[in-house]
Amino acid sequence: MTTVHDGEPGAVTTTASRPRPRRAHPLLVFLAKRLTITAGLLLGVTVVTFALVNVVPGDPVTANLSDQALNDPATVAAFREKWGLDQPLWAQYFQYLGNLLTGDLGISQQTGRSVLDDLVRYVPATMELAIPTMVLALLIGTGIGMLAAVRNGRFTDQLVRVGALLGLSTPPFWLSLVVLYVFFYKLGLAPSGGRLSTAFSPPPTVTGMYTVDAALAGQWDVAWDAAQHLVLPVLVLTSLTVALLVRFVRSAMLEVLQQDYIRAAYAKGLPARVVLRRHLLRAGLVPVVTVSGLAFASLLSGTVLVESIFGWPGLGQYAYRSATALDLPSILGVSLFVALVYTLVNLTVDLLYGLIDPRIRLS
């Protein structure tokens, strides 16, 4: 890194020319640090969920066996043995941890499949909702937030703020029902739920996302049908995520707008659209990236409720069904997966920071 000093003209010192010990690239050090923290966090997550489901009064046996089976001691014992419930807690935990390292997340007591299989089955469905939602929400949220900031205090701004407030205050499950009522029941414009109409069978699995897989297989009618099923849940999730983003983007952009460098850009005679697109957006992107991690978490929360209403066989519905059935391996699997995704998102956010802001990249 070169630092140019003032004082006598031409004084340039280059620290790189000075001999110094070999060190790993700062980005690698940063990555290694972050990954260590992530691993520690995930370990903590397994402890929390495991403890939660074992220490508390709920009993997986009573939650999973029928009353009739509960009256038969042999059945109960067999169930306990099958799921390792007769072992001491710490042994169950370490056994689980050991299995984790080999990718074995256990068998879901509910579905009878391995939890990993379940995740592979349900995660793509949720991703099919989450990815378009996130893309749309970021585009719309940034655009509207910026517009509101530029029109600070005027009618457009008031309108955006009221809209964002409404979005933040609306229960997602209720909004889903309202949207279903209007677009499915009243207008008949969209299907009521599920991922595909009964007339179609799922396309050959590549990504697990029906729209993508159908397009890859050239089954355009299937892709179209799958896309139609996406519209309403994505609409609900997007509007909630946008509401969250807009408030952040607006206040972040307002802060940027008061900076001298924005006034300086205007003072150079640049047209307003150049100032807004190049100078404002660039600086405002940093907080937008920060909040997008948060927005993603809220989106995952939203899927639990939205999926249960739209009959969407995704992670949210799976989590809900596992939780109500006290299905220990599944809950652990989902929690672990969600925590993994969330920490990875945060890691990405940190890395993106560096890409956007040279002060972080180069220091």
Q: Count residues binding another protein (CB under 8 A).
A: 86
Residue choice 279, 288, 291, 307 for contact with another protein (CB under 8 A): 279
Residues 6 or more apart whose Cβ sits within 8 Å of residue 210: 128, 195, 196, 202, 203, 222, 223, 226
Amino acid at 193: G
- Give the pair of three-digit tokens for residue 112: 């009878």
> Cβ distance 85 to 168 under 8 Å?
no
Total Cβ atoms within 10 A of residue 87: 14
What is the footprint of another protein within residues 168-207 (CB under 8 A)?
Answer: 168-174, 177-178, 180-181, 184-185
**Contact call for residue 274 and another protein (CB under 8 A):** yes
110 within 8 A of 334, measured Cβ to Cβ: no
Antiparallel, parallel or unpaired: β 12-14 and 2-4: antiparallel
Q: How far is the CB of 216 from another protein (least distance, A)?
A: 30
- Among residues 133, 326, 329, 333, the one that binds another protein under rule CB under 8 A: 326
* Cβ-based neighbour number of residue 344 at 10 Å: 13
- What is the closest distance, in whole angstroms, from the C-beta atom of residue 333 to another protein in the complex? 12
| 359 binds another protein, rule: CB under 8 A | yes
Q: Does 56 bind another protein (CB under 8 A)?
A: yes
87 vs 301, beta carbon nearer another protein: 301
Of residues 202 and 354, the one with the C-beta less far from another protein:
354
- What CA–CA distance (Å, rounded) separates 206 from 37? 32
Question: Which residues between 226 and 255 bind another protein (CB under 8 A)?
Answer: 251, 254
With beta carbons less than 8 A apart as the criterion, state whether 176 and 309 touch: yes
Q: Is position 311 an interface residue for another protein (rule: CB under 8 A)? A: no
Residue 273 interacts with another protein (CB under 8 A): yes or no: no
Q: Does 345 bind another protein (CB under 8 A)?
A: no
Q: Give the burial class of 330: count Cβ atoms within 10 A of its Cβ; 0-12 exposed, 13-18 middle, 19 or more buried.
A: buried
Encoded one letter per residue, x for contact with another protein by CB under 8 A and - for no contact, window 69-108 reads ----------------------------------------
User: Identity (one letter) of the amino acid at 131?
Assistant: I
End-to-end CA distance of the chain: 9
CA 338, CA 304: separation in Å to the nearest integer? 12
Instruction: Indicate whether 264 belongs to the interface with another protein (CB under 8 A).
Output: yes
β-bridge mates for residue 114, sequence order: 107
* 115 close to 321: Cβ distance less than 8 angstroms: no
Q: Does residue 13 interact with another protein by CB under 8 A?
A: no
Q: Does 288 participate in binding another protein (rule CB under 8 A)?
A: no
Does residue 258 touch another protein according to CB under 8 A? yes
Pick from 28, 78, 272, 344 the residue near another protein by CB under 8 A.
Answer: 272
Write down the least CB distance from residue 5 to another protein, Å: 5
Confirm or reject binding of residue 16 to another protein (CB under 8 A).
no
User: Which residue lies nearer to another protein by CB, 11 or 74?
Assistant: 11
